[in-house]
Structure 1
Amino acid sequence: MDSKLGKVALVAGFKEQQSAGNLKAYRQTLENEQARLLQLEQFKQEYESRLDGYGDKSIPARQLQDYRLFLAKLTQAIEQQQQVVKEAGQAADKAREHWVDQSVHKSAVDQLVDHRHQQARAAQDKKEQRDLDERALINHSDPY
């Protein structure tokens, strides 16, 4: 195989593996951020349930104000985390597109390498057949 083509194939394989690793990392980040968002949402539901649990019971105004302030901050944190999840999803999508591009490129290079191997093998087979034909002709022409 052509050494330049071999180097291209190695680089293409390396880039494809690297982009696959990056994609895995971005997907893991997305999953982590989604888990954080879920935790915040569950935490907010718990606090809202506690507040609703007071129902008709009297709750000191200061405590009610603290609950509402905390819930407002929690709502703000959830909105921020939703943005983080959105951005992490976009980054994972970009990483996936890059991996697909690298994978397609590697596949094309691999096909070219296979094609060149087949051509080289066919040329070698043809040469061997030609050599055998020449020997047979020489042996057939020279009876002694």
Structure 2
Amino acid sequence: MAQPSRAARLAPVVEMAENNERQAAQRLGQFQQQVNMAQAKLAELDRFREEYQQQWLQRGGQGVTGNWLMGYQRFLSQLDTAMAQQHQSLTWHKSNLHNARTTWQQAYARVEGLRKLVQRYIDEARMVEDKREQKLLDELSQRLPRHDRY
């Protein structure tokens, strides 16, 4: 009974590495979405802050009460706190994205390395088979009677 080739024996390992790479790519995509959402939230807060400051400029020119000014400053402070927290969240998501990208790159490199190894094994097996066939043909040709014509 013939034993499976080295390339065939590696097939389950390659399949497992490909599954790991696919999962790492999916996680990378999920982390990229989270970064995009965090960036969008931060941009939204920033736009809201700008709009709120525009209200101050419009309203301030008309004169404001002390209570309105205190409320404005309190709200602006809360908005700044929310923006700082969102900035921290974005930094955390970017860190996760970076780690996921590194994990995916390693998984991808492993799959590519295994594929190259399998291809090398296939090429080596083909060369051995070609040599075996050539040897067989050489032996057969030497057994055939020669017909020399002059």
TM over 0.5: yes
Structure 1 residue 60: deviation in Å?
2.7
**Correspondence for 2:104 among 89, 99, 103:** 99
Q: Deviations over 1:23-43 (max 9, x none)?
A: 111111101101100100110
Q: Does 1:21 align with 2:21?
A: no
CA RMSD of aligned residues (A): 1.4
Cα drift, residue 62 of structure 1: 2.3
TM-score (structure 1 length as normaliser)? 0.91
Deviations 1:28-65 (A, max 9, x none): 11011011001001101110110121223222332222
Match of 1:61 in 2: 66
1:79-90 matched pairs, under 5 angstroms:
79-90=84-95
Distance 2:131 2:18 in 1: 32
Alignment identity in percent?
28
Amino acid at match of 2:37: N
Unaligned runs of 5+ in 2: none
Name 1:46's counterpart in structure 2. Answer: 51
Distance in 1 of aligned mates of 2:124 and 2:29 = 37
Correspondence 1:133 to 2:138: yes
Q: Counterpart amino acid of 2:102?
A: E
1:32 is matched with 37
Question: What secondary structure is seen at the aligned counterpart in 1 of 2:61?
Answer: coil
Give the aligned residue type for 2:128.
A
Q: Which amino acid aligns with 1:16?
A: E
Partners of 2:74 and 2:20 lie apart in 1 by 50
State the distance in 1 between where 2:30 and 2:36 align: 10
1:82-141 CA-to-partner distances (Å, cap 9, x unmatched) read 000000000000001111111111111111001000001001111111121122122238
- 4+ residue stretches of structure 1 with deviation over 4 A? none
With the length of structure 2 as denominator, give the TM-score of the two structures: 0.87
Give the Å deviation of 1:6.
Answer: 0.8
